[in-house]
Structure 1
């Protein structure tokens, strides 16, 4: 099949959900991915030659994967939707696209529904996120018409995937056909990981217990508050925290708290994560609880489990529903220390955890996605 993927954000190369699908879909299909500029490239040359600018950014980056750069020459999303939609239709026709897989929450990038089947992938509760954001965030949500973009796709897509059961409960009534397609983990990658790779490099033998937190550390990550509340635990149990990733909370922590028990690795390559995680005793998932995080399906949660770790997590609704046996939950960030103590002393059935993980392998999830794409294409072809 020829598949057109519309990411939910600019394709930066940082691995996310759609990257995991691309890595598997490209083996049997031709995958086309949209890319675009931020901020808007508002200048005379782009206004004059936006079609030429679009074409020069079309490039094949690897076998069966092509990136199409889409021009957004106007400031106002309602006008850009028509221009972007025309470019998407050109791609559909020129490359014989069979199906669109859209993660978009921007009005500009709502795909046309009258050309080929559209599978909408709701990866987060974007509306809940912006409802609880700053004034500037609320403004950008209105400006980008986030709610309109999401609802339009929920109502018109041939099928909607929700990344969590919480999202399906909230928005499933808006769709004609929908199901849950969770985030997952590359189990094969973890099976081949070398757990001692980072022990010497990070001087981990100096500690009796290693905690870790991996991801992007925005305000909702609770990184700063977690470390502050774990300081006594780190001293008492001769422990350290590996912090792998980037974000505002990392910089805040570095500038506020100096400690040899905090080990910062920065961003790491995806293939390095399994070996790093296997050096840990406890994985941290202390997100601030909100309607947005309650509906999340954190990839790192599945990766912690694949590494065989104990997990300390805030009381997130979707994470609780997954029911992995390796997790200790806490209600308030002030009680994260007690949760870490409980996790340190807990035992769990690793065979049961491995069995629970199997449905979340990216290979299985990608096969479900591919089967539904084929079904949607055949259904639309029969005259739906």
Structure 2
């Protein structure tokens, strides 16, 4: 058995043939998003190297949750799944230093691939980082989890710069996978292959919500309307305020963007019928959803959100919960009757109150859960694996 050096923690290097490299736009230790779910489920059938975005040596000082990612840089985190954390210089959001970070990432991927035993079957890139040339591979896939250029204001970057980087990525990729029709339509061009694979759901975890131990720190009286997610500029705060105005119990679970409308968010959190429990580990979310009678997805009607495919709505449905959601294109993909769609704050509050007052409906809960089950991350990973197989074998058109 071959063993690697000190920077990979004695990783067993056998059995990594047919590797898929997934260069993520989010750290493994950050919020659970599409890239992480895909890597976990894809690794059950094919070995996966998950690559964090290049991390500055100073990043853990700002994000303590990422301190564990500093060493070892290459390590196995599950059977068939290894993680690589490139470490680079501070200031990587600046153009020149960003290019240094991308060079560091390409070099780290190439070195990790050599250690793991040869040419990968596929390189999936879930960001605008220039890493497609890191190593030879049978197929290069751009994974569009968000409309990056539409999120220029959220990211604090130039829209023109993001569009140029996006065009470069599309030019280097053999094909692109988008999570929504909106992204696919915008990327469409003669000769360019665009596949649509929507976000999925960890159905096994959320199907067990009603047997989970209820979160002990929730103090609101039932029934409770709940939002699980990031309190950020993507959220329609007016919709949450309208729900709170009804007097209904409102539970907020997730991190808070400190630059997001401080006065209004602070005032909302001070209301007696509103409780915010902060960021919680993904593994603990079923305990909080156990306390929630109605799930809320209050997104603003922005260009960025119109291209999104919210994971939280599927998680509510997997738990059998009624869901009140903003009117977005991704919402219209869900069969009629499974969610309540609101186009205004007043309607959002009205539908939430109606759902809270309704008698439990086991048949409706079963229909919601059955739909979510068909949208599982296991199914999405199988779609990716089939796509890779077709492209790498040369049989795709």
Which of residues 191, 199, 202 in structure 1 aligns to 2:207?
191
More helix by share: 1
Report what 2:42 is aligned to.
25
Report what 1:49 is aligned to.
none
Question: In the alignment, is residue 292 of structure 1 matched against residue 311 of structure 2?
Answer: no
For 1:338-349, list aligned pairs within 5 A.
Answer: 338-344=350-356, 349=364
Question: In the alignment, is residue 312 of structure 1 matched against residue 324 of structure 2?
Answer: yes
Name the SS for the 1:337 alignment partner: helix
Report what 1:243 is aligned to.
252
- Residue 111 of structure 1 deviates from its aligned partner by 4.3
For 1:88-237, list aligned pairs within 5 A.
Answer: 88-95=109-116, 96=118, 97-106=120-129, 108-112=130-134, 115-130=137-152, 133=153, 137-139=156-158, 145-173=161-189, 176-195=192-211, 197-198=213-214, 201-204=217-220, 206-207=221-222, 209-222=223-236, 224-234=237-247
Report what 2:84 is aligned to.
68
For 1:6-21, list aligned pairs within 5 A.
Answer: 6-21=23-38
Report what 1:46 is aligned to.
none
Q: Deviations over 1:128-179 (max 9, x none)?
A: 111xx17x8234x55xx43233222323322321101222122233663222
Is contact 2:144-2:178 (8 Å) kept? yes
Q: Gapped runs of 5+ residues in structure 1?
A: 43-53
- Residue 33 of structure 1 deviates from its aligned partner by 1.9
Q: Distance in 1 between matches of 2:318 and 2:351?
A: 21
Aligned length: 357
- Residue 25 of structure 1 deviates from its aligned partner by 2.2
Shifted more, 5-14 versus 87-96: the winner is 87-96
Q: Distance in 1 between matches of 2:339 and 2:137?
A: 45
**Kindly tell me: are residues 359 and 174 of structure 1, through their superposed partners in 2, closer, same or farther at Cα, counting changes over 3 Å?**
farther
Name the SS for the 2:323 alignment partner: strand
**Kindly tell me: are residues 341 and 61 of structure 1, through their superposed partners in 2, closer, same or farther at Cα, counting changes over 3 Å?**
closer
Over the aligned positions, Cα root-mean-square deviation in angstroms equals: 3.2
Q: Distance in 1 between matches of 2:299 and 2:343?
A: 11
Is contact 2:294-2:355 (8 Å) kept? yes
Report what 2:3 is aligned to.
none
- Residue 218 of structure 1 deviates from its aligned partner by 0.8
- Residue 286 of structure 1 deviates from its aligned partner by 0.9
